């Protein structure tokens, strides 16, 4: 079936380095994508979103890239900090009803 999935279940980076978390989606009808960050014991928190009519969107230290040709989404975190350690989920919105479908998540571990 169609789904949103992640390439890497765990990513370990050195503090100060840049991180790239990847996500693949298979539903070409999806027009809205979101990245959430989930710290231990907490609910997911919105990080950044992007619509399908865009290729790139930047936030504070984070950038989301969307490649519709290969149905690939990535989250780039600049100058990764220990506080960035968490599980990151990508999610797609397949219709206008905000029915988010979440991927399996990638755990980001930041080494001091």
Partner 1 sequence: GAGVSQSPSNKVTEKGKDVELRCDPISGHTALYWYRQRLGQGLEFLIYFQGNSAPDKSGLPSDRFSAERTGESVSTLTIQRTQQEDSAVYLCASSRSRGANEKLFFGSGTQLSVL
DSSP alpha helix (H) spans, 1-112: none
Q: Report if residue 34 touches partner 1, rule: CB under 8 A.
A: yes
Where does this chain touch partner 1 (CB under 8 A) — which range of 13-21, 38-46, 53-61, 70-78?
Answer: 38-46
Which residue is associated with the tokens 């809205």? 32
Q: Which of 63, 72, 102, 109 binds partner 1 (CB under 8 A)?
A: 102
Q: Which of 26, 28, 45, 67 binds partner 1 (CB under 8 A)?
A: 45
Measured in whole angstroms, the distance separating CA 101 from the mean position of its chain's CA atoms is: 12
- The torsion of the CA quartet 25, 29, 32, 34, rounded to 10 degrees, works out to -20
Please give the residue ranges that form the binding site for partner 1 (CB under 8 A): 32, 34, 36, 41-46, 49, 51, 89, 91, 93, 96-105
């Amino acid at each position: 079936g169609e789904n949103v999935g992640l390439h890497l279940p765990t990513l370990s980076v050195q503090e100060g380095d840049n991180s790239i978390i990847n996500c693949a989606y298979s539903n070409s009808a999806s027009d809205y994508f979101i990245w959430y960050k989930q710290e231990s014991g907490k609910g997911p928190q919105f990080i950044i979103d992007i619509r399908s009519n865009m290729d790139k969107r930047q936030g504070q230290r984070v950038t989301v890239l969307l490649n519709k040709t290969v149905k690939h989404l990535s989250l780039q975190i600049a100058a990764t900090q220990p506080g960035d350690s968490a599980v990151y989920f990508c999610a797609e919105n397949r219709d206008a009803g905000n029915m988010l479908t979440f991927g399996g998540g990638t755990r980001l571990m930041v080494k001091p």
